[in-house]
Each structure stands twice: as structure tokens, then as C-alpha cells.
Structure 1
């Protein structure tokens, strides 16, 4: 006969538990992640349970206090307070989006500057052109068109064809 799953004290709901018991000294020997996974399915210690209960009690009291305050206020004022809270939330979300945008732009600028520096530090023009072609400063946004005009294209092709480095003599 299969054993029944462990039931919780409140409501008879299923409560996951560990299948085997691990001794305290074996628990200390476990790696932190393994210990964390094991302890996730154990009952919390007594002081933690008491702290959780006290926190739940404080939250319920605060909720009741807010409900009493809202019952005493006229409906127009409650609506105004809700609109104000919604507006504050929208402003905070806009500020967060702006911070992310600024961080993204700063990262892209730093990356482009670093790549440009790497290209400038290449020992030959041929290596610099190849690096610039392979590692663009800014990521492409599905824009694969040729960015060089006719004169630049001729110069690049001439550099690529110069296998002996006669056109550009850089001092090593």
C-alpha cells in the first residue's frame, strides 16, 4: 500500500517534505547550495516561526488601520488618494526606464570608445581595417548597408590588396 503524502496542519493541504532525514553533522558538511535545497523543505526553527508570526500579525494590524482610516474619509478623498498613488507609481516607473536608458547609452559609448582604441592600436592598417570590419563600434540594428562612400571604398580595397604593407609604413 503506498504511503500517503504528508498533510499540513491547516486545511489538510499537501506539504512537501524531505524523504530522508540528514543528521546535523552531515548537514554541516554539505555544500551551501545543497544545504539550502535541503533546508527549503524542512520546518523553520522555532524563533524563525515566531518572527514570521509576529510579522504577519503586524501586517494585519496595519491593514486594518488603513481600512479604518479609509472608512472615515469621504469617497472623493479616497479616489484622489488612489489617483495620487497611481501617478507616483507611473513617475517612479518612468524614472526607472530613464535610468536604464542612460545606463544602456553609457555602456554603448564606453564599448565603442574601447573598440575604437583597440582599432587605433593595431600595428598595421590592414589589421585595423579587418578588426573594424569584424567588430563594429556600435551594434547593427538589422542595417547591413555599405557605410563607405566610393573614395573610402577604393582606399580600403587598396589597403586590403597591399599584402606587403607598402602603402602604410607604421613604425613598430
Structure 2
């Protein structure tokens, strides 16, 4: 197979990957770019462990061909917040003990961000619906739902301070 170079912005920095035509974005991010925050799980879009934000859209990167990411802005867990200034969703997930093994974390975190961008104050049904495309075998989802609710509270408090 012939290979091609794809360039994109990864976690705020220019990046490039040498890919073959059938390579998925998760494989390119992990292999060519050394990003471990996207995980390889089911490879068919069911588990959510490979989730990242691509041009502000929550994407299961195992379902996207790497070639389609050319010119895109991609954010993985590594690009979300810092140790000194974590993203509100990271703070909320830690406060609420919303993860154990962390395998589902990319899907849960980016689904939360995507949900809150659409619905700033979701109810429990909306939260569970937004998380439904992600599998977690450790927590039973109760603390994850609490973490999403807490994130919404934190974001609303910051928004009110900015007015």
C-alpha cells in the first residue's frame, strides 16, 4: 500500500503522521504521534475508549480513517487541561471518584464536554443518554453521572463569574 502524510493540530501543536489509506485515526495517534490517551478497545465504536475531540466534535477515532483528519484540530486527554490548571471535567471526575481503571475515561470525559456544550444543565436522563455510547465495567455509572452534574455546576459558576 502507498502511504501519505497527514498533518493536523494535536493538543494545540502541529503534528504529522505517515499513514496508509486504511489506517484508523486511533492507530495513527497512538503509533505515529505517541498519544496513549486514546485507547484501543473494541475497534468498532462500541466502547468509547478511543474517543477524542476532532474539530470540536466528539469522535470515536477507531471509526475514522486517519486521512480524514488532515487539517483538523484534535484534542486527546493529554491536551485537556494541565496539572496546574485541570479542565473542570477532570476536577469533577476526581472529586466524584468517577473512574477506577480509567479505560473508559476518554469516552466519558469527551462525551461530557460534548453534552455540556449542547445542554448546559442536563438532567439525569440526558446525561445517561449522552454516556450510553461508552462502556464502563468498574463504576456502575453512578459516580460518573454525579461527575457530569458536578462539571455542569462548575462550568455554570465560571460562566456567572464572567458576567
TM tier, shorter chain? under 0.3
Higher RCO, Cα 8 Å, sep 6+: 2
Q: Which has the higher helix share?
A: 1
Q: Which has the higher strand share?
A: 2
Structure with higher Rg: it is 1
